[in-house]
Structure 1
Amino acid sequence: MMKTKEWQVLGAVIATGMMGFSGVLIETSMNVTFPHLMQEFHTNASGVQWVTTGYLLAIAVVVPVTAYLIRRFSVRQLFTWSNGVFILGLMLDSFSPTLAILLLGRLAQGIGTGIALPLMFHIILTKSPLAKRGVMMGIGTMTTSIAPAIGPTYGGLLLSTLGWRSIFWFLLLILGFSLVLGLRSIPAEQTHPKETLNWGAFLSLALGLTALLLAIDGQSVWLALVSLLPFTCFILMNRRHPLLNLRIFKLAGFAGMVYAFLVFQAVLLGLSFVLPNYLQLALHVSATTAGLFMFPGAVMGAILAPVSGRLLDRYGYAKPIGFGLVTATLALMVMTWFFPRLSFGGLLLGHVVLMTGVGFAYSNLMTTALGLLPIEDHADGNSVLNTLQQFIGASATAVMAQFLAQAVAKHPVTGVVQGSQNGLMCLTMLILIAVIVFGANLIYLKHKASV
């Protein structure tokens, strides 16, 4: 199939970004509905969190295949398929009478999002001019980084007015617009039908990720040890016919940048679970108010994402990422230390400052990490990064749910406060390590460049 028209890169990025935005929006908008869902479906926090965790697991399983899919099929074909699967999932969840049907729809949405997110970054890395890559990455990342904070606002408003199923109704309109814009912006291109998929590596990786996430969710050391078997099979099978090119972690500085990026993902997803639930269960605010709480920080992150990308294009990565890391770390430390005594307004201020740091660092970390790779490894780097990103998001949600559920089980009255603070302490330790790793990475890369 030959090219029929020219690429409209901005339109293609926005179209794929709208799918990623919709996926992440539902992911966090459902968090604010958990107290309601627990009553309707007669389950607890550990059970209902699979509405988010199962969705993220589906993304993490699908993303490793995208490097193969991008080589095997055209961008236009992948965009159309992922959009269609996503819409199917939305339709299932828009009427779901049981938790099982709701989870099935979430899995379909995870598959669609799992293709759309790497596709967006693939378009940016291969079709946008190098001089504008930071800005384009900022625009692309903005669509997904703003969604975790907007999600609770969106979910809370609709839950209070039209019910939680309406969360899926309105996204059908967004996906319809995304489909039209994408088909107008993405041309048909030549495909490579002889490319084959390493099914053994794919299935063993899927089993390993599933087992490890179940181990994290159930705090099972035995299951964590069991997950080593499929991971070992994956490593052996991946050597013969790579599904994911793991050799990229040997490149100088890449692993450190990836760690810092993944910490921000854990913070975003962890807070989007903890804060809306804490506000409703401990401070007794409405779902609408708990959702609106996240909105100012979302606006701050959205404004700063493309701005920080422009700063990266002009001044390099060290200053915007360093400033963002330090700002986010200080905000999270203050929120954690004073958490039981902070009012609604105090928490809101802390979250806005934290999202300021996220806006400066989050997208630039991904841009910098992928920029350290040779151009022929960009597709593999994109797949690896997105796989880890979604798995860390799922793990962070599961861990935060466990902190909350265990604390409430031990102390029904004060457990919500203690469990939420324990979750913030965990995130604070991770981001402190990220600051140290980034600083060491910066010194190493500067020394390597000077030699």
Structure 2
Amino acid sequence: MTMSKTIQVAPRVIAAIVATGLLTFSGIIVETSMNIAFPTLMRDFNVPTDQVQWMTSAYLLVIAIIVPTSAYLKQSYPMKRLFVVANLLFSSGIFIDGLAINFSMLLVGRIVQGLGTGIALPLMFNIILEQVPKERLGLMMGIGNLIPGIGPALGPTFGGIVVTQLGWRAVFFSLVPVLVVSLGLGIWGIQQSSALEQTQLDWGSLLLIILLFVGFVTGFVNLTNNAFLSWQVGGMLLLGCLGLMGLFSHTFRIERPLLDLRLFKHRRFSCLILMFFLTQMCSLGLAFLLPNYIQLANHQSAFLAGVIVLPAGLGGALAAPIGGRLLDRKGPFLPIVSGESLMLLSLVGLLSLGAVKTSWAIGLVYIFYMAGMGMSMGCIMTTSLSGLDHQSQAQGNAILNTLQQFAGSMGTSLIAMIVAQAQLNHSSQLGTQIGTLHGYLLLIISSVIILGTGLVTLRKTN
């Protein structure tokens, strides 16, 4: 009688995943924490609202430009070297911001941090795809997706406490111990498992990617305060569209493009990418909508708003490995469809609550939403990448992580625009209530598309 051997993940691989995850987590914590500090920064540096928002927009823009180079970087440079460079870049940005004497210096620090996060984020998933046994792939991808999942929920609470008690500079300096631990684990744990190949960087693709994201990110950011047909919105969105069309044309003309959009020829991959994009858009849009509603409509403090949404992040954290285990044992249909169904029901529940004054009821429903998101998000990512051959997985990972950044920016900007338009025609409280209900409707429509796409795409999987 033979006994089946339990397949384990090597300790060094776990250390490598934790190291890159901590670095990515630090980036998300800074991004979400500093949103709380915007009023303070506006006062300290005498800058208006539209200017201070570039603290987040510039950071996301740099990440969106760097992430598409991840397949090239992985192929050309050792993983450990990439990680050390990413960690040192992010740490440098932390000190630049912590010591900033003006707003320009603050922006430079955020850009340097974006360079580090842009390298680290896809590196984590590349390590999981290459070095985790197939039987544990779903579980480890679920754990890896805890990082972007829990960060937006923890950030406002963390930021509210630190900014209130210690000042905004402490947000940056408080992450130094985390970065030191990350660096130590990465140096010990990250190992090279694939052969390197020196290739030329596709500068044409990189230029078109810059045009694409500068246009789209800037256009969506300006959507709240400018008319659609203005050059700040319509002109920049047109620039983004031209960059996108140029990138598709360029991709099909050369053998090894920087971002291989030919992967979209695979129908299953394209459908899962659509689900991934809309899920991220909904989640980041809702993460903006709920704290905003709790503060402006229910007149709660920023700190209490962060505390109310905090349990939802923990719910997502607990659900992610559960979804991964279900994926490993039962296949993708059950965790993805169950998770997306829970998200849709939660959004309907939030709409049904209407202009409820009980913020804790909103927080309770949000727990179920984040649990559904945590259960499905990593499984969608794993299923989309596992359907590609080994050589295409790094490119697929680059596409996913690139779209993740853009989806977050798009979701936040669309929801902010909807709420802002409602506030123009009503009082701040009533406008926020009406805009929030309209925002829920947009998210519900998106969630229906996600669930329908999942049912059609995955019905023959199990």
TM over 0.5: yes
Amino acid at match of 1:79: F
Which of 50, 53, 62 is the aligned partner of 2:57?
53
Q: CA-to-partner distance for each residue in 1:353-394, whole Å, 9 max, x for gaps?
A: 111111211111111111111121100000011001111112
Pair 1:330-2:345 in alignment: yes
Q: Residues 326 and 335 of structure 2 are in contact (CA less than 8 Å); yes or no, is this contact kept in structure 1?
A: yes
Quote the residue 1:299 is aligned against: 314
TM-score for the superposition, normalised by structure 1: 0.92
Q: Report how many residues are paired.
A: 441
Residue 227 (structure 1) aligns with: 240
1:308 aligns with 2:308: no
Tell me which residue corresponds to 2:84. 80
Partner Cα separation in structure 2 for residue 179 and residue 26 of structure 1: 18
Cα separation, 2, equivalents of 1:98 and 1:278: 31
Distance 1:227 1:188, change over 3 A: closer
Alpha carbons 2:100, 2:106 under 8 Å: kept: yes
Deviation at 1:344, TM superposition (A): 0.8
Answer whether contact 2:318 2:371 (CA < 8 A) is retained.
no
CA 84–391 in structure 1, closer or farther in 2 if over 3 Å, else same:
same
1:172 corresponds to which of 167, 172, 176: 176
Distance in 2 between residues matched to 1:165 and 1:285, nearest whole Å: 24
Q: 1:182 to 1:297 in 2, by over 3 A?
A: same
Does the 8 A contact of 1:7 with 1:186 survive in 2? no
Aligned pairs for 1:219-298 (under 5 A) are: 219=223, 220-238=233-251, 239-240=253-254, 241-298=256-313
Tell me if structure 1 keeps the 8 A contact 2:131–2:193.
no
**1:303 to 1:8, Cα distance in 2 relative to 1, 3 A:** same
Match of 2:36 in 1: 32
**1:381 and 2:396 are equivalent in the alignment:** yes
For residue 341 of structure 1, give the secondary structure of its aligned residue in structure 2: coil
Whole-angstrom CA distance in 2 between matches of 1:409 and 1:343: 25
Q: Tell me, in whole angstroms, the C-alpha distance in 2 between the residues paired with 1:104 and 1:400.
A: 28
Q: TM-score, normalised by structure 2?
A: 0.90
Residue of structure 2 equivalent to 1:423: 439
For residue 47 of structure 1, report the CA deviation from its aligned partner: 3.8
Which stretch of the first structure deviates more once superposed, 131-140 or 219-228? Answer: 219-228
Flag the 1:336–1:101 CA change in 2: closer, same or farther, 3 A: farther
Structure with the greater relative contact order (CA < 8 A, sep ≥ 6): 1 or 2? 1
Q: Measure, in 1, the Cα distance between the counterparts of 2:306 and 2:101.
A: 24
- Which residue in 2 is equivalent to 1:17? 21
Distance in structure 1 (CA, Å) of the matches to 2:350 and 2:43: 30
2:352 corresponds to 1:348: no
Deviation at 1:160, TM superposition (A): 1.6
For residues 20 and 139 of structure 1, what CA distance do their matches in structure 2 show? Answer: 13
Looking at structure 1, the residues matched to 53 and 438 of structure 2 have their Cα atoms a distance apart, in angstroms, of 18
Shift of 1:213: 1.8
- Is 2:221 aligned against 1:208? no
Aligned to 1:3: none
Superposition deviation, residue 229 in structure 1? 2.6
Aligned residue in 1 for 2:166: 162
Distance 2:444 2:53 in 1: 22
Residue-by-residue CA offset, 1:409-448 (whole Å, 9 max, x unaligned): 44343333333333333222211211111112123x44xx
8 Å contact kept, 1:31–1:272: no
SS of 1:163 mapped into structure 2: coil
1:284 and 1:36 map into 2 onto residues whose CA distance is 19
Q: Does 1:438 align with 2:454?
A: yes
Cα deviations by residue, 1:68-87 (Å, 9 ceiling, x for unpaired): 00001000010001111111
Matches within 5 A, 1:367-406: 367-406=382-421
What's the CA shift for 1:45? 4.8
Measure, in 1, the Cα distance between the counterparts of 2:318 and 2:358. 26
Asked whether the equivalents of residues 7 and 187 of structure 1 are also in contact (C-alpha less than 8 Å), the reply is: no
Contact 2:157/2:310 (8 A) holds in 1: yes
Q: Cα gap change, 1:349/1:190 in structure 2, threshold over 3 Å: closer, same or farther? A: closer
Separation (CA, whole Å) in 1 of partners of 2:41 and 2:437 = 23
- The 1-side partners of 2:338 and 2:172 are apart by 37
Alignment of 1:129-144 (within 5 A): 129-144=133-148
Which moved further from structure 2: 162-171 or 422-431?
A: 422-431
Aligned-residue Cα RMSD (Å) equals 2.1
Identity percentage of aligned residues: 38
Separation (CA, whole Å) in 1 of partners of 2:131 and 2:116: 22
Counterparts of 1:183 and 1:20, CA distance in 2: 16
Distance 1:317 1:441 in 2: 10
Aligned-partner SS, 1:253: helix
Offset, 1:96: 2.7
- Which residue identity lines up with residue 22 of structure 1 in the other structure? S
8 Å CA contact 1:217–1:402 kept in 2: the answer is no
How has the CA–CA distance of structure 1 residues 35 and 339 changed in structure 2, closer, same or farther, with 3 Å as cutoff?
farther
Task: Please state whether the residue corresponding to 2:267 is helix, strand or coil.
Answer: coil
2:423 counterpart letter in structure 1: V
Q: Distance in 2 between matches of 1:400 and 1:49?
A: 15
SS of the residue 2:299 aligns to = coil
